[in-house]
Copies of this chain bind each other. A is one copy, B any other.
Amino acid sequence: MQLTLNSPMDMHLHLRDHEMLKTVAPLSAHPFAAAIIMPNLVPPVTTLQMVEEYKARILEATADETFEPLMTLFFKADYDYAFLERAREHISAIKLYPAGITTNSQDGVSSIDSEQLAPVLTAMSDLGIPLLVHGETDGFVMDREKEFVPVYETLATRFPELKIVMEHITTKESVEALKRYDNLYATITLHHLLITLDDVAGGLLNPHLFCKPIAKRPEDKAALLDVALSAHPKVMFGSDSAPHPQHAKESCGCAAGVFTAPIALQALAQLFEAHDKLDNLQPFISDNAQRIYGITPPEKEVILIKEPFTVPEKYGSVIPMFAGETLPWRIADVS
A residues sitting closer than 8 Å to B (CB atoms) are 140-142, 196-198, 200-202, 204-208, 210, 214, 217-218, 249-256
| Beyond known contacts A204-B255, A250-B250: 20 more, CB 8 A cutoff | A140-B197, A140-B202, A140-B217, A141-B197, A141-B198, A141-B201, A142-B197, A142-B217, A201-B201, A201-B210, A204-B253, A205-B205, A205-B253, A205-B254, A206-B252, A207-B207, A207-B252, A207-B254, A249-B252, A250-B252
- Copies of this chain assembled into the complex: 2
B141 touches A202 (CB 8 A): yes
Q: Which residues of B contact A253 (CB under 8 A)?
A: 204-206
For A201, the chain B residues whose CB sits under 8 A away are: 141, 200-201, 210, 214
With a cutoff of 8 Å between Cβ atoms, the chain B residues found around residue A210 in the complex are 201, 205
CB distance from A274 to the nearest CB of B (A): 21
Taking CB atoms, residues of chain B closer than 8 Å to A251 are 250
Chain B residue at minimum C-beta to C-beta distance from A218: B140
A210 CA to B205 CA in the complex, in Å? 7
Instruction: For the complex, give the distance between the alpha carbons of A251 and B252 in Å.
Output: 8
Closest 9 CB pairs of A and B: A205-B254, A141-B202, A204-B253, A205-B210, A250-B252, A141-B198, A205-B207, A141-B197, A140-B218
* A contact patch SS: loop
How many angstroms between the C-alpha atoms of A333 and B138 in the bound complex?
43
List B contacts of A250 (CB < 8 A): 250-252
- The answer, among B198, B204, B218, for a CB contact under 8 Å with A254, is B204
Closest Cβ of chain B to A127, distance in Å, is 36
Q: Determine how close the nearest CB of chain B comes to the CB of A324; give it in whole angstroms.
A: 12
